[in-house]
Amino acid sequence: MTDMHQDAGRPGTDAGAADTIDAGTAEAFLSHDESLRHAPGPYFGSYGGRWMPESLIAALDELQDTFEKAKADPEFTAQVTELNRNYAGRPSLLTEAQRFAEHCGGVRVFLKREDLNHTGSHKINNVLGQALIAKRMGKTRVIAETGAGQHGVASATAAALLGLECVVYMGAEDTRRQALNVARMQLLGATVIPVTNGSQTLKDAINEALRDWVANVGTTHYLLGTAAGAHPFPSMVRYFHEVIGDEAREQILEQTGRLPDAVCACVGGGSNAIGMFHGFLDDREVALHGFEAGGDGVETGRHAATITLGRPGVLHGARSYLMQDEDGQTMESHSISAGLDYPGVGPEHAYLADIGRANYEPITDAEAMEAFKLLSRTEGIIPAIETAHALAGAMKVGRRLAADLGPGEQASDRIIVVNLSGRGDKDVATAAGYFDLLPDDSAEQEIAQEGEQL
């Protein structure tokens, strides 16, 4: 943990100058053991809120109202459960990774298999829920942002299933690199709009989606893909992903008879991590570890380690940690993983970091790719490169646990649960290029050089 976590002001206060921790909240958490589960927003400590144009506030109010009513409506929750079970394929498995565990100090490692969900990642949980909410609001059109294409594909999938028009905003550079994912979205009936504004990356795709939303808010729901943004998005996106942690907790108890020592997940915006962490938030003996993209190394400036090195600020509607320069301009992030390549992070993670309930560390591209290869070869599971950051983190956590055993304890007494948030099929070209597996004259070699993540 760095001392950057001291840099948190209260809502509406000057974060740049007032380097004060939210001491009251941290103290309450530490001394009174109050529940951290189901935090409703709009604020998580001093984070979250609605830093948004007035034009969109009515839509956010409508969304919040619809969501609150839906949660209390047995018909809605039954619909979600039914889609999760018979469409997405839940519950996802919890798989013990015995051979991979040998590289984690010999502790026991369990993988929460979100990679086995329909569309290949945890993203489906959120898009099905939000698409149902859109229908309840009478909206006929959903818009979404996407970086590598995973959330875009998931959104297009949910829209096809529920008969909604779908428009996906994607950085122009990404549409070229991810041509096959663009085709996939189009096959699913979605329109993909390349975004040529600003830095032409994920954050600019979000900006453009927000501009669309302002102009079309009467018919359109913005299906945000991560647990960030203005209230109620952070708590709503978490709600639809809570199933990950709830299932994992029940499964680990069933398989081992006890709670894990540590839970690991990767963090970009932070939706898979918050869904996983939520199941264990009140189990104070379970350590929660989030792993951010360290890119080329946080000392190089080319990374996406928002909590590790960012400062509180506002972007896309929420106050949270933010990669920003001295002027408050958003900085460009860098990661081999497009899904973690975002200069912001969900506000609930910022809060969990400040109060010390969860720990956040960077994992470099090189560390992630080593874990990517290792899991593939020891378990026969090719993970998403995003997920490989959590696996590399689990290797570190496992070794620390093994180094810290009491007298008479064995490494195999320690248990780690890792959220295997997505499968790596989309990353084969990137990985093949990275590990130099492609013949020099192959078409794939050319694609890999352009950074394609299929």
In sequence order, what are the beta bridge partners of 121?
422
In three-state secondary structure terms, 42 is: coil
Q: Which is nearer to another protein, 211 or 373 (CB)?
A: 211
How many residues touch another protein (CB under 8 A)?
45
State which of residues 1, 57, 183, 253 lies at the interface with another protein (CB under 8 A): 57
Q: Which is nearer to another protein, 266 or 314 (CB)?
A: 314
State which of residues 77, 191, 197, 219 lies at the interface with another protein (CB under 8 A): 197
Using CB under 8 A as the binding rule, whether residue 50 contacts another protein is answered as yes
- Min dist CB 279 to another protein, Å, is 31
Query: Of the listed pieces 50-58, 74-82, 239-247, 333-341, which binds another protein according to CB under 8 A?
Result: 50-58
Alpha-carbon distance 53 to 207, whole Å?
12
Using CB under 8 A as the binding rule, whether residue 24 contacts another protein is answered as no
Using CB under 8 A as the binding rule, whether residue 189 contacts another protein is answered as no
Cβ density class 162-188: b for 16+ within 10 Å, e for less:
bebebbbbbbbbbbebbeebbebbeeb
Residue written as token pair 């690991």: 264
Helices 233-256 and 271-278 cross at an angle (nearest 10°) of: 50
Which among 398, 95, 383 is positioned nearest to 252, based on CA atoms?
95
* Contact between residue 114 and residue 122 where contact means Cβ atoms under 8 Å apart: yes
Query: Of the listed pieces 12-20, 118-126, 242-250, 442-450, which binds another protein according to CB under 8 A?
Result: 12-20
* Contact between residue 352 and residue 339 where contact means Cβ atoms under 8 Å apart: no
What track of x and - describes contact with another protein for positions 268 through 307 (by CB under 8 A)? ----------------------------------------
Query: Of the listed pieces 95-103, 108-116, 196-204, 264-272, which binds another protein according to CB under 8 A?
Result: 196-204
Q: Which is nearer to another protein, 46 or 178 (CB)?
A: 46
* Contact between residue 223 and residue 168 where contact means Cβ atoms under 8 Å apart: no
What track of x and - describes contact with another protein for positions 347 through 386 (by CB under 8 A)? ----------------------------------------
Using CB under 8 A as the binding rule, whether residue 214 contacts another protein is answered as yes
- Min dist CB 428 to another protein, Å, is 33
Q: Which is nearer to another protein, 203 or 289 (CB)?
A: 203
State which of residues 30, 78, 215, 253 lies at the interface with another protein (CB under 8 A): 215
In three-state secondary structure terms, 368 is: helix
Alpha-carbon distance 264 to 109, whole Å?
10
Q: Of 123, 203, 396, 426, which one is the catalytic site residue?
A: 123
Query: Of the listed pieces 57-65, 183-191, 363-371, 393-401, which binds another protein according to CB under 8 A?
Result: 57-65
| Helix H or strand E encompassing 361 | strand 358-364
Q: Which is nearer to another protein, 203 or 357 (CB)?
A: 203
What track of x and - describes contact with another protein for positions 310 through 349 (by CB under 8 A)? -x-xxxx-----x-x-xxxxx-------------------
- Min dist CB 316 to another protein, Å, is 7
State which of residues 4, 172, 193, 217 lies at the interface with another protein (CB under 8 A): 217
- Min dist CB 177 to another protein, Å, is 22
In three-state secondary structure terms, 424 is: coil
Q: 151: number of CA atoms within 13 Å, CB side?
A: 30
Using CB under 8 A as the binding rule, whether residue 6 contacts another protein is answered as no
Query: Of the listed pieces 6-14, 66-74, 156-164, 399-407, which binds another protein according to CB under 8 A?
Result: 6-14
In three-state secondary structure terms, 197 is: coil
User: Which amino acid is present at 21?
Assistant: I
- Min dist CB 15 to another protein, Å, is 6
Count the residues in the chain: 454
Which among 420, 439, 431, 435 is positioned nearest to 93, based on CA atoms?
420
Q: Which one-letter DSSP state was computed for residue 422? A: B
Q: Of 337, 396, 421, 426, which one is the catalytic site residue?
A: 421
- Min dist CB 274 to another protein, Å, is 22
Alpha-carbon distance 94 to 91, whole Å?
9
Give the count of beta carbons closer than 10 Å to the beta carbon of residue 58: 10
Query: Of the listed pieces 22-30, 86-94, 210-218, 368-376, which binds another protein according to CB under 8 A?
Result: 210-218
Answer yes or no: 421 catalytic.
yes
Chain-centre distance for alpha carbon 213: 22
- Torsion angle, alpha carbons of 423, 429, 435, 440, to 10: 160
* Contact between residue 390 and residue 291 where contact means Cβ atoms under 8 Å apart: yes
Answer yes or no: 412 catalytic.
no
- In 68-179, where do the E strands start and end? 94-96, 108-113, 141-146, 165-171
Report the interface residues with another protein, using CB under 8 A: 11-18, 49-59, 61, 197-199, 203-204, 207, 210-211, 214-218, 311, 313-316, 322, 324, 326-330
Catalytic positions are 123, 145, 421
